[in-house]
Structure 1
């Protein structure tokens, strides 16, 4: 196998409604002589394909960009279904070659500076002239507004999904030097392709994922929808609720998903709303503290999607539930006030940390997205500043 685009095929023996398919790969330096465990795989899937709560075809083919590796590796596929609490798994052995037995006269493999791949891809649907496609980037605290990149479709030809994904990748590369969009070749170069493009960042980048949204021209749609007043509870025993107000004009079908930061679905609702003015509540299960996204879509009775959006929410543990214990702040909120004994919740892992006594407490306030060595539970030297509480 080589790094880059590959097709993965699933043969589904039962038509379960699907949340998503996710693909993980072993770490470059994993030990194949030890029993295979979760710790030997990368934490973040290199590819996630949303199922949108629909039943898949019996034979389902999907395209994913496989990250750069050498030698023997394992790819682990997860089919997460929506209509039961189960998931199905498949593991495949792959060999990238150049597995470490390099003789002195062989040329070592090129090591790219773009070492990390964000969750999500620059890919999507066919669009029409006048539509707009938007790439939105997220770190652990939510969307990074300065990274948002928009492309207005100028023609029917550019509306082809393979064409606009190439054009948008080019535009992102020209506008933002801290990401590189495309497919990585054997020399480590990353260039856009006419198809699904991955987003690469350098080691130390705070970016975690990318998502695509659309603003589509709808000439003959009279229906409207307005979503407002997004509220959400704190997490108790892995459960939470999300509530938002919906106002519709006409006969509208609303479909909404809540996804965690890695793209796993945690809540789903689909509801017909005819001239509605009401609250909608979603129950979330198996959630942990941190950034989540509410993605909603609105279609009319003809099946035309006329509205969609992505709303950010930052879930926190209820201190009374006993999962995290009480804390003073969610890191890095109010960081200038941290002192010895201050307890913070780290939204990236849902754990709480206490600032060490003097003289180490001075490290607790030393943080920026590009210099996070003392960030609790995450930074390279976090133990010099913090004590893990829960």
Structure 2
């Protein structure tokens, strides 16, 4: 039954739909939706959202996935874990536990549950009607959207709970087209009336209740509500200091620019010389105090109600007086020199030859600098059989074919050389066995391991061709994985180097898409 408030909201505040051409198959993807404008907390962690928030955890790769499932046992934390059946009500009676609201109750996204007055970047808006845009990565039949705002007296330095929010939503808007999906890769626009009695920092919670599963998507937006009562500031913001943990021996310095270029004389340097100073919230405060004492024409901190800049433990803004010629101040972190590291993963101890051939797949990962990496295979006599140099950019994966080789013991020798001349070395010994009735391999060379294991591709080669039953060799661990049947097979193709949730054997959700062979 639709209550009168919902009906009035819907009639006065119509939806505008930006339809897309993606088909229904997109509905099976793991991606879903988030508030794009004003930018949500999770979206601000993503590169498309400007990375205005940092140290967000894996939500930076998928801000669209803060999804409360609604079925006991499906989320890591639930509001009512004792429920025997799915909880399908709205935020007031269901949903993630208090303190886990921003992450939709998912432990893997818990970094965005952190809450303080200065932790997150904010969007300044005015009271009154404001447009909020949901952006969709996959379509879903929709039941409604709801928008809640924090109370006038909420405490921004405590975890978000239901008691933080007004329980009457600012907007309670049903989907007008029944079971027609919200558009995949499209948008919906919602006019939300921001109360005139709110000012300063508030959190808006937007929930999207879908109708083809028990899921509800959660998206929180950090707002600075300018209601006209704030004293006009004499400062302009030209940068920001984001907290992150550092190490003893690191240096943090400012880089100051006007329209003509960098002003080196205005640089301030802070040496991280203790474990206490290296803490994420400590060094920004120390740097702000040092900058402000140096009187170089810019200040660090947060503005108080007297328009004064006060150093803060955590995020600080970088400000200049209006009329200053300084247009930008950047923070440069110089890490203390650390010894390089080289490691080999994915090598097996034995390989079975087929027609005198096999192929080595492994990663040679060089950390601590910019290295040129070369891999050489030597036979028992110490003679070079073949070698390969990795492409520029520390690309770690090697695929080395061995042709016309004999059974026996071989050594893999990997050498990494930095631009400064530092040399790192690692190796692995392996045995080539004579063929013993092994089967044929697949599209990428087949016999990828002991016993003639079959596979169709070496991951991630042929990514777009993966489907239910596709078998891949994961060079990072030398194991083979089979793409699961059914709708989840679509997840097998979802991979990039920066978003690897479903990477077989590696991503945190790989078991949802793959079976190990």
TM category, shorter = 0.3 to 0.5
TM-score normalised by L of structure 1: 0.38
Larger Rg: 2
TM-score normalised by L of structure 2: 0.30
